[in-house]
Structure 1
């Protein structure tokens, strides 16, 4: 282009360089923010790059609208051929798609350095490039139709609002937007065919809009026929896209990465870096739940939307990322599900004591004095004693029926028929040693819980002599 056409070659080159740099930086920053922390998986990378279109797309549309507006003002009285009409938007498309490819390359190098295999889904990469192309063509048409100073702003904010609305709309509408579901779930992804069909739809509608615009300003029948063919391709993509399941559970056929000892822990291959911490955390919980109805020997990562029931001895866990504290979050969610909540009930304080122990946290004091006595009593038990206690009272714990007498109960007020727990430590308010003012009874002993034992043989005869 020369200076008489509204934008000189030098301006276009400088603008293209600036656009390339801006899109690359913005794409990397936004894609990095979408990546799941600690997860090295090609699907995760592709979804992150596609997610960056939410910001890079409007910027590309604004630049295309700026060039189109200036071109329209310069070519108002000049007849154009189809090639002359489509060449400027195609040049912008090359720059924009190049920036997308550079972003994808940087993230791919990161994945290769960490040892990822297989490579990205071609359909996902094509879908991302096609979506960015749609932003450019939409911006170009806006700038051409309304060659005013605010055209770039209108194109940028308009495309952002439109595609954000589509992505968050009805299930059929969100498939038409150049985006993927947010947040990304590594265990529940769109099938590979869906990416290909979405790319076909986006390429078709982009080509149809561009050629339809060219046919309108050039009055070329051939361009109009090509636009109709592209529209048919877009319709084919939509029909196939809406006929496909929106997402599939990867856990149904995923090749888990597992740690086999001391219990089996299986996660998505991209999250294998979390096996060590997850194994350590859940091994402790498995040891404490051994012998109870909640005992398990296998931990398996599942999607939050997966409703399939786990087998006996298998614990499904939800690990959304490998950010700091991921193992504790997964363990807390699992432990909280072992017993139903007890809102407004004294049993809630006792439940909190057991839950804190299972989560390996400090025991809470509780809102009531009996809760504090129970916490003190439970803290004095050994680890073996606590496990035995949980085996005895797990059903009461799970059904919110724990009572104060389960935590070393006062046998003087409610003497049980048999000792409720042979390993009870002494109470805070009881002293197993004889008082200064009370002479010890020969032959009498006290149990650890404070209840007197039977007299030894011969004890009553000594008392009779005295």
Structure 2
């Protein structure tokens, strides 16, 4: 009984491994923070957790290997009991995996809280969180079993080095190998989402290989050949998941998103993750819309489009691309996209038309560029806002085709002279 008590006390002492939880939590939180984006998009939250495993996994594997090496000389105490020789190993793996998962859960809580504190958009992917947990447990099992098989002081350092190299070799988008746990994902662009099949294959791969390693060790320790069947099943699942990752056609797929809009003085609609951009975008686009009012390029609605979608100005709707990080100047860049969209690509070629640039500067509220024809530049600068708008209505075709010349800026009188102050439209200035 005294020997059994010593074994039980030895097993209970394994709870000291929980001191590793703060270490793993700090490492995982720091790694996740590096992958978090300023825009709260749930897909990128999951990516941050999955990328954190690339740092958290090697540390957890090294701690597991160190534990295995440290406790290996005490195995003779377990031999004094009637328990299976694999029981102690399985108990150690349970404690180590629990410690790693507790730290992973703490990192998940921090990252989710950071997302909820912002204007989050998209939908959470619990499967992605589980896939990251499976990859972390795989690191623990590999590290511990390596320490059992190679009980040397340098084993923990070797495990850390090899696991870190394996994680660093994950380069997003280069090869399907990068999808093997710990997988590396690129930033998930708005209007796209993670493909669930990828997450399922990664979870299956990690779970299958973890199970196979544990069953293989148990079979080696107990000499029970009945374990061969579940071992083969686990290896088969791993192989099937490997083929699934190899045949995968990208990690993301397009997804529609219900936009958020503001309706005055323009109707501006953006991806829900970028709702904070609405005030500045409205303020930047309203002057341009007012100046284009009454021309074929007029618009009363601005809509954000995915980065791969073409930009157009048609039927009163102007489409733009937005910086997902909302970097300084994003609203001005979006308005400039509308101006560029008004060009006819067939006729607007290099070198640029300097007279069109003069008009663009007015439309965008920029300082006028240097124009060789100083007389024309002075004449255009002397016109009132109302006269410029009336002039643009008459000469819009030349503006669009980049064929403006000095003759277009000659003094003129037109019966449809536009009076901005008398306009009762919604874009009145």
User: What is the TM-score of this pair, normalised by structure 1?
Assistant: 0.71
1:413 is matched with which residue?
none
Question: Is 2:311–2:320's contact at 8 Å kept on the other side of the alignment?
Answer: no
Alignment of 1:182 with 2:186, yes or no, is: yes
Q: Distance in 1 between matches of 2:412 and 2:73?
A: 93
Deviation at 1:396, TM superposition (A): 4.0
Partners of 2:312 and 2:341 within 8 A in 1? no
Per the alignment, do residues 392 and 111 of structure 1 end up closer, same or farther by CA in structure 2, a change over 3 Å counting? same
Of 357, 362, 378, the residue aligned with 2:362 is 357
The aligned residue for residue 32 of structure 2 is 31
Residues 1:402 and 1:214: Cα distance change in structure 2 (over 3 Å): farther
The 3 A distance-change label for structure 1 pair 350 and 229 is same
Aligned match of 2:143 in 139, 145, 150?
139
Query: Do 2:271 and 2:304's aligned partners in 1 also have CA atoms closer than 8 Å?
Result: yes
- In 2, the alpha carbon distance for the partners of 1:162 and 1:28 equals 20
Aligned partner of residue 321 in structure 1, secondary structure = coil
Greater shift in the superposed pair: 259-268 or 124-133: 259-268
Q: What residue is the counterpart of 1:383 in the other structure?
A: 385
Contiguous gaps of at least 5 residues in structure 1: 410-418, 424-466
Corresponding position of 1:226: 230
Aligned residues: 401
Instruction: Tell me the distance in 2 between the aligned counterparts of 1:255 and 1:237.
Output: 34
Higher relative contact order (CA 8 A, sep 6+): 2
The answer to whether the Cα contact below 8 Å between 1:57 and 1:135 also exists between their aligned partners in 2 is yes
Distance 1:329-1:59 versus aligned 2 partners, 3 A rule: farther
Distance in 1 (alpha carbons) for counterparts of 2:222 and 2:375: 88
Is the aligned partner of 1:300 residue 2:303? yes
Alpha-carbon distance in structure 2 between the residues aligned to 1:217 and 1:89: 15
Residue 121 of structure 2 contacts residue 272 of structure 2 at CA under 8 Å; is this kept in 1? no
Q: TM-score, normalised by structure 2?
A: 0.76
- 1:418-456 per-position Cα deviation (integer Å, ceiling 9, x unaligned): x56769xxxxxxxxxxxxxxxxxxxxxxxxxxxxxxxxx
Whole-angstrom distance in 2 between the partners of 1:202 and 1:351: 59
How far 1:121 moved relative to its partner?
2.3
Q: Deviations over 1:50-105 (max 9, x none)?
A: 23223222322332233334445665999773332333233222111111111212
Q: 1:163 to 1:232 in 2, by over 3 A?
A: same
Correspondences of 1:257-272 after superposition (within 5 Å): 257-272=260-275
Q: 1:127 deviation in Å?
A: 1.5
Q: CA RMSD in A?
A: 4.0
Q: Which residue of 2 aligns with 1:247?
A: 252
CA-CA distance at 1:123 after TM superposition: 1.0
Q: 1:297 is paired with a residue of what secondary structure? A: strand
Measured after TM superposition, the shift of residue 203 of structure 1 is 2.0
- Aligned partners of 1:44 and 1:186 also within 8 Å: no
SS in 2 for 1:189: strand
Q: What is the correspondence of 1:149-168 to structure 2 with a 5 Å cutoff? A: 149-168=153-172
Q: Deviations over 1:214-266 (max 9, x none)?
A: 43455443444333222233344445554676422123xx2222223333322
Task: Tell me which residue corresponds to 2:287.
Answer: 284
Residues 333-344 of structure 1 mapped to structure 2, 5 A cutoff: 333-339=337-343
Say if 1:350 and 1:115 are closer, same or farther in 2 by CA, change over 3 A.
Answer: closer
State whether residues 312 and 319 of structure 2, in contact with CA within 8 Å, keep that contact through their aligned partners in structure 1.
no
Q: Residues 299 and 317 of structure 1 are in contact (CA less than 8 Å); yes or no, is this contact kept in structure 2?
A: no
In the alignment, what sits opposite 2:215?
211
Deviation at 1:315, TM superposition (A): 0.9
**8 Å CA contact 1:123, 1:193 repeated in 2:** no
Equivalent in the alignment of 1:22: 23
How far apart are 1:400 and its partner, in Å? 4.0
SS in structure 1 at match of 2:169: helix
Partner of 1:63: 63
- Rounded Cα–Cα distance in structure 1 between residues aligned with 2:186 and 2:121: 25
Larger Rg: 1 or 2?
Answer: 1
Is 1:84 the counterpart of 2:88? The answer is yes
Distance in 1 between the 2:363 and 2:217 partners? 66
Question: CA, structure 1 residues 96+169, in 2 after alignment: closer, same or farther (shift >3 Å)?
Answer: same
CA distance in 2 between counterparts of 1:216 and 1:373 reads 93
Deviation at 1:126, TM superposition (A): 0.9
Change in Cα spacing, 1:137 to 1:307, as seen in structure 2 (3 Å) is farther
Deviations 1:370-409 (Å, cap 9, x if unpaired)? Answer: 3x65554444333333333444444444444343444x36
For 1:106 and 1:232, the matched residues in 2 are separated by 36
Assess if the C-alpha contact under 8 Å between 1:65 and 1:152 holds in 2: yes
